[in-house]
Structure 1
Amino acid sequence: MNEYRLRELPIMTYLLLIIQILVFAWELFNGGSYNSATLIDAGAKVNQLVQMGQWWRLLTPIFVHIGWSHLLINSLTLYFVGILLERVYGAWRFLLIYLLSGLGGNLMSFAFGSNFSVAAGASTSLFGLFGVFVSLGYFFRTNPALRAWSQQFLILIVFNLVADLFMGQIDIWGHIGGVLSGALLAGIIAVPHQSASLTNKIRLLCITGVLLLFGVLYYVGMGR
């Protein structure tokens, strides 16, 4: 396989999939993926533990899953959406968006979600990827393909958030935080060779928005 084909591979998407599958395998061999103690050991989010200083639990939950169906749905979504977005942004920019979207989603859950539940899953990051596509449709309004993707992902976001309201044990706050974070990050992290699509004003507004969002959510979460 030549160097060009290697660059075309969505390596980061594959790596993220491998990590969450390996974490899930560890859960299965250490008490099971429904065992609260096992999930906490694997890095799931528990607000009280974050308040005690275990800040990494705002990031590690994106690699932890509860049950086979949870892992399967999130893995399939990551595979298809991740490949699309990694081809747009490249591996490292895609990884940064994925991780920061997950952080933003978990911060929103930390601020407004249950203080006593164990939360885990890649959906905070995945909703961030949905939010990125919505913003790309705005920044590249003359691109019919991106505009169409943007509209479809906006419908997907609305459908899922409405469904969240009627489903138990779904962290809707994490999903909302992921969407907002991804939409803002798309205004900061430019598509390679398309930096002109983001003006300094847009970047400044989005950087301010991310900093305020993350800072306020962390402050609210710590003060509960």
Structure 2
Amino acid sequence: MFIRTESFQQYVRCFPAVTCYIFLMMIVFVLTLFPSFLGNIIHYGTGVNLYIADGQWWRLLTPTFLHYSFTHILFNGFSLAIFGPTLEKTLGSIKFALFFLLTGTIANIATFFLTPLTFIHTGASGAIFGILGFFLYMARFRKHLLSKNEIHTIYTLTGIAVIMTFIQPNINIVAHIGGLLAGVILAPLFWRK
């Protein structure tokens, strides 16, 4: 289910939305390394609750594409590269792209409402947890479409991801859980046979 055997060219051709999101996150990350060029991307794109409350609503979307460190983007990019293709194949590229944006934005909205005004956040993990939420919905409500091994894999990966959310330092717990719930709730709206 989550094992990738495609060549790089096949992967790009078969999963254009996932590829575009990963590429966009990488480009934005590289640009943030050059403060004299576009370093203000971090300043104007980071999710800062105080600024959102002041009317800078674009910060509910832009944090999904920003990452503070190489390990941060590496982990999120890898997770998207592994989990995204199965969902893009299931939904189609346009629906997948919209689902990713919606779950990421909902995770950021939850962060805005449930964390202090001084809270600052970046990262695509809310949207990635949205993808896990979709699979969790499938494992629970469309289990006849999955093998027992796939259902077990989904439950195990989701369980590990949630546990790690509470163990790892500097994690936006609200975004992870918000993204996961958004994925479960939105899944039936996006599902197609």
Q: TM-score, normalization: structure 2?
A: 0.86
| Partner Cα separation in structure 1 for residue 127 and residue 56 of structure 2 | 20
| Partner Cα separation in structure 1 for residue 117 and residue 160 of structure 2 | 26
| Displacement of 1:38 | 5.4
| Displacement of 1:139 | 3.4
Given the alignment of the two structures, is residue 167 of structure 1 paired with residue 163 of structure 2, yes or no? Answer: no
Equivalent in the alignment of 2:42: 39
| Partner Cα separation in structure 1 for residue 130 and residue 162 of structure 2 | 13
What does 1:1-224 align with in structure 2 at a 5 Å threshold?
9-30=14-35, 39-41=42-44, 43-145=45-147, 148-191=149-192, 194=193
1:145-186 residue CA offsets vs partner (Å, 9 max, x unmatched): 3x5434423332332222222332111010000000011111
Q: Which has the higher contact order (CA 8 A, sep 6+)?
A: 2
Alignment CA distance shift 1:111-1:148 (3 Å)? farther
| Displacement of 1:136 | 1.4
Q: TM-score, normalization: structure 1?
A: 0.75
| Displacement of 1:56 | 1.2
Alignment CA distance shift 1:150-1:98 (3 Å)? farther
Alignment CA distance shift 1:46-1:6 (3 Å)? closer
Unaligned runs of 5+ in 2: 1-9
| Displacement of 1:9 | 1.1
Structure 1 counterpart of 2:129, which letter?
F
Structure showing greater radius of gyration is 1
| Displacement of 1:39 | 2.0
| Displacement of 1:117 | 3.0
Identity over aligned residues, as a percent? 29
Structure 2 counterpart of 1:163, which letter?
M
Alignment CA distance shift 1:144-1:157 (3 Å)? closer
| Structure 1 residue matching 2:143: 3-state secondary structure | coil
Equivalent in the alignment of 2:7: none
| Higher mean C-alpha displacement, 123-132 vs 8-17 | 8-17
| Partner Cα separation in structure 2 for residue 123 and residue 28 of structure 1 | 21
Alignment CA distance shift 1:113-1:7 (3 Å)? same
| Partner Cα separation in structure 2 for residue 6 and residue 15 of structure 1 | 11
Alignment CA distance shift 1:126-1:103 (3 Å)? same
Alignment CA distance shift 1:113-1:141 (3 Å)? same
Structure 1 counterpart of 2:65, which letter?
F
Alignment CA distance shift 1:129-1:174 (3 Å)? same
Equivalent in the alignment of 1:206: none
| Displacement of 1:142 | 1.4
